[in-house]
Structure 1
Amino acid sequence: MTIALDPYDYDFHEDPYPLYARLRDEAPLFHSEADDFWALTRHADVFDAFRDDATYSNQMGVTLDASAWSPEAHRVMSFLALDGAEQSRIRRLVSAAFTPRRVRELEPEVQRLTEHYLGEALAANADQGEVDWISAVAGRLPMDVISEMMGVPVSDRDEVRRLADLLVHREAGVRDVPPAGMEAAFELFAYYGEMVKQRRAAPSEDLTSALVEAELDGDRLTDNEIIAFLTLMVVAGNETTTKLLGNALFHLSAHPDQQAAVFAPSAGTDLVAPWVEETLRFDTSTQMLARYVTKDVHLHGRTMPAGSKLLLFLGSANRDERVFTRPTDFLISRSKEELSESLSFGTGRHFCLGANLARLEARIVLAELVRRVEGFEVHADRAVRVHSVNVRGFAALPTTFRERSV
């Protein structure tokens, strides 16, 4: 039977994993005639492609969307859409501002926001018998953390969150960024542009000011380079962490025995980190990333010509039976050695700069959840998926929590 791969298809969004398995076995280098892109789905191939940006270039961006596939993609995606020395320059300057110390110093704020939003969620749960985990906690906290870091005022955060959601949403039958997404992008650029202008006039202690002031050997970031990075942060940093927090509850709810182990009083919060890491492997927020092929590539008996558009399927690589035992099973007991093979945050020079922040947020939120509830049930029949080409997760996740007795 002919294999059809359509990353825009809503049915594919519901469960892409059976198709991934077919591709790994039958067509590890697959070509979509309909949309003229190639796909790599095996772990070894995706890993190698991440490590070779001379052959598998980021210069056209990382998304399948036609309007975003452009040599100017870096103006929106920052160093994510650059290679070699250009990529290294921006990343080094950004890293001078977005330091591990700055992330560590966020921990008290993440804890405060967690207690605030989780308190509200559990109160609503007690009153109504359930609460939407996404709108109550998972969709709010990551945006607030990033906004706090950047210096976005509390009064503006709901609007910034709305614009970020529009950027990743894909409408049925629209095989590109929909008009609402394009408008949202322009609004975000304008908003961050004004922020940068304000910080140049009056610096503060936030990340935006640190980016303005970042300097290495006399080199500084331009306004457009800062705006591009802030836009990348609000989409990549916010959306992927929101999806991670939703996916974590969705999958643990489907495994009552493992949930009982995580929430057992004797376990404390010891199983939170394995829960986060297995969620990242089992159902990663970022499912695929695009690359531009700079020269002919001969692989698996086929030739992918120079100039091709290629999709690297992280979601498939993380389920590759050549690397992981029982890859289709969600196992919080999975070994650290196997979990270290997960490609959810990429590898090489494009390893996700925000990986530590995403892990910090997820661990704090889920640890506090473990301390305050004895278990939960996700109402999967009423869960609503996000429809996006790159990102996999939920727009709504109705959940009933059972609070611990005082």
Structure 2
Amino acid sequence: MTEALTDPVVFNPYDYRFHDDPYPVYGRLRAESPLYHNPDLGFWALSRHADVADAFKDNRRLSSANGVSLDPAAYGPHAHYVMSFLAMDDPRHMRLRQLVSRGFTPRRVAEMDGRIQELTKQHLSPALESGEFDWIADVAGKLPMDVISELMGVPQPDRAELRRMADLVVHREDGVLDVPQAAVESSMALMTYYRDMIAERRLARTEDLTSALLDAEIDGDKLSDAEILGFMFLMVVAGNETTTKLLGNALYWGARNPDQMTPLLSDPDPGSQSVRVSQWTEETLRYDTSSQIVARTTAEDLEYYGQTVPAGEKMLLLIGSANRDSDVFDDADEFLIGRNGANKLASFGGGVHFCLGAHLARLEANIALAEFARQVSGFEIDESGIERVHSTNVRGFAALPVKVQVR
């Protein structure tokens, strides 16, 4: 046992055992190797909250131009084709983000409130009637994709297939240290679908986000079809998957911590229950965030903890680890709804690359979880039926069977 405790910490983001519970590894990284180097997989990693937060702000020395993925096939100067402005540095990044923001406005997101409520009830009501259901398959896996499809103007009959392809894009096979063939094929199919949709909107505008992006303009500068396509792909993969996983993680940790859920589920006042639901969302974002790891590239030699990271190296920012740093969060490894620490979250990044979809993700989660809490007096998870998603950067469930007590 003593020998095991003194073994050097090993961090492999592709390891299925790591996916089951990454937090002990993160704890050792923060304590023993706050700058970690894995020469076999070709990356360095920062795990402490202070280092991750500073790295997000340092967009000059830590470049995003090669993308944010560890996977070799998704990393490089071509990454912006599927990751849009996430895979760009200023001024390219700022130009594209500002143009996209002309279409993807806070007002457009806020106007989705009522429709998100309708979609939540549409998926949740039949699930609750059965008493036992898969939270991912029946609710959490459908709602975010439907919301994004509503925004972009995807017809209802096409959404299930697009959701299936989006799931394949992020899945990673055990032992495969890159993007699997199924993910490549699904990415190509999604790109083809959205390319055709953009062409249709060029001929006839509608009231959706796709049309708004076609019309977005700043001083005569407009988005190209390729730029719109990259942003749409980013929305489908990053926006859809991370919100699905957020909803799954919220329900899982709520069930694992019933003492934290009792005040919320027993609160008859809609106003105070709404506050508690928001706190449930925020603590899930901290305790087990769906977006765990993002990559950067060192633009020059950097010094950390007496070591030099050469220019041109891949640097991983461990968001999941930063959110469990006990130097920032009291009782960091405890799931505590209502803690005061939302302004310290690393979950949506920081600096110029702060997540453009953060408000939409929170809105969806709060509405869906509030509707669940309003209709349910208790719930439990069937641990034997759980299936995890295996990904190098997204953490969550592919299946999450739940049994509910409906009010």
The bucket for the TM-score relative to the shorter chain is: over 0.9
Tell me the residue number matched to 2:75: 69
The alpha-carbon deviation at position 4 of structure 1 amounts to 1.1
Instruction: Say which of 230, 234, 237 aligns to 2:236.
Output: 234
The alpha-carbon deviation at position 189 of structure 1 amounts to 0.9
Distance in 1 between residues matched to 2:96 and 2:246, nearest whole Å: 27
The normalised TM-score by structure 2 is 0.97
Deviations 1:162-204 (A, max 9, x none): 1100110001111111001001111111111101101010000
- Return the letter of the residue paired with 2:346: L
Tell me the residue number matched to 2:3: none
Distance in 2 between residues matched to 1:373 and 1:54, nearest whole Å: 48
Instruction: Say which of 367, 372, 384 aligns to 2:370.
Output: 367
Tell me the residue number matched to 1:148: 150
Instruction: Say which of 311, 326, 330 aligns to 2:335.
Output: 330
Tell me the residue number matched to 2:387: 384
Distance in 1 between residues matched to 2:383 and 2:301, nearest whole Å: 45
Instruction: Say which of 359, 366, 369 aligns to 1:356.
Output: 359
Distance in 2 between residues matched to 1:90 and 1:188, nearest whole Å: 21
- Equivalences for residues 253-402 of structure 1 within 5 A: 253-266=255-268, 268=270, 269=273, 270-335=275-340, 338-402=341-405
Distance in 2 between residues matched to 1:223 and 1:33, nearest whole Å: 39
Tell me the residue number matched to 1:403: 406
Instruction: Say which of 15, 34, 47 aligns to 1:9.
Output: 15
Distance in 2 between residues matched to 1:38 and 1:395, nearest whole Å: 29
Distance in 1 between residues matched to 2:379 and 2:389, nearest whole Å: 22
Structure 1 segments unaligned to the other structure (5+ residues): none
Instruction: Give the number of equivalent residue pairs.
Output: 398
Structure 2 segments unaligned to the other structure (5+ residues): 1-6
- Return the letter of the residue paired with 1:237: G
- Return the letter of the residue paired with 1:95: S
- Return the letter of the residue paired with 1:161: R
Tell me the residue number matched to 1:38: 44
The alpha-carbon deviation at position 216 of structure 1 amounts to 0.5
Distance in 2 between residues matched to 1:300 and 1:18, nearest whole Å: 21
The alpha-carbon deviation at position 33 of structure 1 amounts to 2.3
- Equivalences for residues 212-227 of structure 1 within 5 A: 212-227=214-229
SS in 2 for 1:291: strand
CA contact (8 A) 1:169 1:386 kept: yes
Distance in 1 between residues matched to 2:120 and 2:8, nearest whole Å: 48
CA contact (8 A) 1:261 1:267 kept: no
Using a 3 Å threshold, how does the CA distance of structure 1 residues 377 and 267 change in structure 2: closer, same or farther? farther
Distance in 1 between residues matched to 2:316 and 2:213, nearest whole Å: 31
Q: CA RMSD in A?
A: 0.8
Distance in 2 between residues matched to 1:204 and 1:36, nearest whole Å: 46
The alpha-carbon deviation at position 371 of structure 1 amounts to 1.0
Distance in 1 between residues matched to 2:194 and 2:385, nearest whole Å: 36
Deviations 1:57-99 (A, max 9, x none): 0011100101111101101100000011100000000000000
Distance in 2 between residues matched to 1:189 and 1:255, nearest whole Å: 41
Tell me the residue number matched to 1:25: 31
The alpha-carbon deviation at position 228 of structure 1 amounts to 0.3
CA contact (8 A) 1:288 1:313 kept: yes
The alpha-carbon deviation at position 30 of structure 1 amounts to 0.5
The alpha-carbon deviation at position 340 of structure 1 amounts to 1.1
SS in 2 for 1:84: coil
Distance in 2 between residues matched to 1:200 and 1:156, nearest whole Å: 20
Tell me the residue number matched to 2:64: 58
CA contact (8 A) 1:38 1:310 kept: yes
Distance in 1 between residues matched to 2:15 and 2:123, nearest whole Å: 34
- Return the letter of the residue paired with 1:5: F
SS in 2 for 1:265: coil
- Equivalences for residues 198-213 of structure 1 within 5 A: 198-213=200-215
Question: Identity of counterpart residues, as a percentage?
Answer: 56
Distance in 1 between residues matched to 2:327 and 2:199, nearest whole Å: 51
The alpha-carbon deviation at position 218 of structure 1 amounts to 0.3
Tell me the residue number matched to 1:246: 248
The alpha-carbon deviation at position 42 of structure 1 amounts to 0.4
The alpha-carbon deviation at position 357 of structure 1 amounts to 0.4
Distance in 1 between residues matched to 2:367 and 2:338, nearest whole Å: 20
Distance in 2 between residues matched to 1:211 and 1:240, nearest whole Å: 23
Tell me the residue number matched to 2:4: none
SS in 1 for 2:45: strand
CA contact (8 A) 1:250 1:380 kept: no
Tell me the residue number matched to 1:119: 125
- Return the letter of the residue paired with 2:148: I
- Return the letter of the residue paired with 1:96: R
The normalised TM-score by structure 1 is 0.97
The alpha-carbon deviation at position 243 of structure 1 amounts to 0.3
Deviations 1:348-384 (A, max 9, x none): 1111111000011001111111111111101223211
- Equivalences for residues 139-218 of structure 1 within 5 A: 139-218=141-220
The alpha-carbon deviation at position 278 of structure 1 amounts to 0.3
The answer to which of 258-267 and 236-245 deviates more is: 258-267
The answer to which of 261-270 and 87-96 deviates more is: 261-270
The alpha-carbon deviation at position 267 of structure 1 amounts to 5.1
